[in-house]
Amino acid sequence: MVERSSFGFETRAVHAGNIPDKATGARALPIYESAAFVFQNSDDAAARFALRKYGEIYSRIVNPTVAALEERVASLEGGLGAVATASGLSAEFITFIALASQGDEIVASSQLYGGTITQLDVTLRRLGIVTRFVDGTDAADFEAAITERTKLVYVEAIANPSGEIADIEALAEAAHRHGVPLVVDSTVATPVLLRPIEHGADIVIHSATKFLSGAGTVLGGVIVDSGTFHWGRDRFPNFYEPVPSYNNVTWAGNFGQYAFLTKVRAEQLRDVGPAISAHSAFLIAQGIETLPLRVERQVANTRRIAEWLASDPRVEAVHWAGLASHPHHALAEKYFPNADSGSVFSFDIRGGREAGRRFIDALNLVSHVANIGDVKTLAIHPASTTHAQLTAEQLREAGIGEGTIRLSIGIETADDIIADIAQALDAGEASQTDEADKTDGEA
Ligand X SMILES: *Cc1c(COP(=O)(O)O)cnc(C)c1O
Binding site for ligand X (CB under 6 A): 87-89, 113, 115-116, 156, 160, 185, 187-188, 207, 209-210, 219, 221, 372
CB of 87 to ligand X, least distance (A): 3
- The CA–CA distances, whole Å, from 250 to 223, 226, 242, 380 equal 21, 20, 5, 46
* CB-based contact 155:203 (threshold 8 Å): no
For ligand X, the closer of residues 68 and 158 by Cβ is 158
Q: Looking at beta carbons only, is 75 or 213 nearer to ligand X?
A: 213
Nearest-CB residue for ligand X: 88
Do the Cβ atoms of 371 and 346 come closer than 8 Å?
A: no
Q: Report the sign of the C-alpha dihedral through residues 437, 438, 442, 443, in that order.
A: negative
Residue 399 CB, nearest approach to ligand X (Å)? 14
Spatial separation of the C-alpha atoms in residues 328 and 340, rounded to whole Å: 12
Q: Which is nearer to ligand X, 342 or 428 (CB)?
A: 342
| Cα angle: 167, vertex 136, 146; to 5 degrees | 80
CA distance 348 to 369: 18
CB of 345 to ligand X, least distance (A): 13
Closer to ligand X by Cβ: residue 62 or 188: 188
Residue 113 CB, nearest distance to ligand X (Å)?
Answer: 4
Are 33 and 64 in contact by the 8 Å Cβ rule? The answer is no
Instruction: Name the residue nearer to ligand X (CB basis): 362 or 407.
Output: 407
Residue 439 CB, nearest approach to ligand X (Å): 40
Find, among 271, 280, 221, 223, the residue nearest to 89 by Cα: 221
> For residues 120 and 132, is the Cβ–Cβ distance under 8 A?
no
Q: Is the Cβ of residue 358 or residue 381 nearer to ligand X in the bound state?
A: 381
**C-beta closer to ligand X: residue 30 or 322:** 322
Distance of closest approach, residue 393 Cβ to ligand X, in angstroms:
21
Burial class (CB in 10 A: 0-12, 13-18, 19+), 115: middle
Is residue 211 within 8 Å of 76, Cβ to Cβ?
no
Closest to ligand X by CB, 221 or 227: 221
- CB of residue 254 to ligand X, shortest distance in Å: 31
**List of E strands, 320-394:** 344-349, 367-368, 378-380
Q: How far is the CB of 293 from ligand X (least distance, A)?
A: 21
Give, for 90, the enclosing helix (H) or strand (E): helix 88-99
